[in-house]
Amino acid sequence: MDLDDLQAQIQDTLSLFADVESAVQARRAQIDQWNATDRQKERLHGELEQVHQRAHEILVLRLDDLHSQLMNLTMLGPSHKS
């Protein structure tokens, strides 16, 4: 993978972070406006937070991997592939 590919993948992953955050905010607003008991809303918020945390963890791991690849590429040069 070359530098341009890595940079594009990093940008794509950062874009996914933004998409996840927007989706979670929208879903929180939907839950808050839903005609349900506070207990039901709290349960849904808890479930949403679990999904949000898992998505966040996956994206952080992906960025960590891309960062490692970027460091290898820039420190070792393009002739050394990981």
Estimate to the nearest angstrom the gap between the alpha carbon of 70 and the chain centroid: 18
Count Cβ atoms below 10 Å from residue 66 Cβ, excluding itself.
Answer: 19
Q: What string of DSSP letters covers the chain?
A: --HHHHHHHHHHHHHHHHHHHHHHHHHHHHHHHSSS-HHHHHHHHHHHHHHHHHHHHHHHHHHHHHHHHHHHHHHH-TTS--
- pLDDT at residue 4 tops 80: yes
pTM: 0.82
Q: Locate the domains of the chain by residue range.
A: 3-75
pLDDT per residue over 23-68, tens digit each?
999 999 999 999 999 999 999 999 999 999 999 999 999 999 999 9
pLDDT > 70? residue 10 = yes
